[in-house]
Amino acid sequence: MTTAPMLIAVAPNGARKTKLDHPELPLSARELIKTALDCIEAGASMMHFHVRDKYGNHTLDHTIYGPVLKELEAAVGEHMLLQVSSEAAGRYQSDEQIEQMKRLAPHCLSCGLREFVKDENDYAAGHDFFSALHRSGVLAQYILYSPADVEWYETLCTEGVIPGESHLLLFVLGRYGQVGANSHELQNYVAALKRKSHWMACAFGQAEHTTAAQAAKMGGHARIGFENNHSLPDGSPAANNAALIQLTAGLAQKAGRTPGDKDFAESLHGL
């Protein structure tokens, strides 16, 4: 068991949910700032956030993402690492994702690994994108949806498609729109990881809580929030994202760990 700090990240909105799912789902810059401030107080030091277009749809448009990111940086950037999403969400092809991320030029972003490198035919394009991020000092987190994805990550590192010796990974348990995740799956992800990379876990549905507890005990970190779950352990709706972060901070403390700060969050990315 480790006593090292535990990174707690909040994922407050995601690409698909609306206020019909939960009235406290933050979508505007003002709502995201309030959520970020509340979650910092509750124990989070990183936020993975999405933005929407004027129709409420998921967008990567840098002219929309950029101003929101700038407002958030001004309001909470001193204490919180802000991570943008490059998720396709059924709306973008990989070349479009890459183009928008280049134009946005964020300090930190997440990459669904299979969205950019599906097979060997994507090696060159994936290498170009990931290497450009690495050279620019961008903090990239690689999102993995199965133990097989962890093995694929290992292959891409060995083949030189992904540069660097260690990275921050996100293990995603479950899928959007399906039955909730099983937190016991986390052990299979960790078993597949051979490199000394740091990892976080998130889970759809109420398994979020047991997954965070397991991550705390196993030396990992957690991403929590309405993107994947908006329920308390008893199944009732959480008041807001900060309520879920507060619960997770308590889980970290029970495991003998304290929530890490922004500097700690940045250090886990391996640059």
| Contacting residues for 163 by C-beta, under 8 A, at least 6 apart | 127, 130, 131, 134
* Residue 253 falls inside a structural domain: yes
Residue 231 forms beta bridges with which residues?
Answer: 237
Q: Which domain holds residue 186?
A: 8-266
* Residue 190 falls inside a structural domain: yes
Residue 141 forms beta bridges with which residues?
Answer: 110, 168
The token pair that represents 119 in the structure block: 């097979």
CATH number of the structural domain spanning residue 134: 3.20.20.70
* Residue 234 falls inside a structural domain: yes
As for how many domains the chain has, the answer is 1
* Residue 3 falls inside a structural domain: no
* Residue 112 near residue 141 (C-beta atoms within 8 A): no
Q: What is the pLDDT of residue 184?
A: 84
* Residue 209 falls inside a structural domain: yes
- Alpha carbons 143 and 126: distance in angstroms, whole number: 14
* Residue 33 falls inside a structural domain: yes
* Residue 144 falls inside a structural domain: yes
- Alpha carbons 98 and 125: distance in angstroms, whole number: 10
The parts of the chain modelled with pLDDT lower than 50 are none
* Residue 195 falls inside a structural domain: yes
Q: What is the pLDDT of residue 179?
A: 55
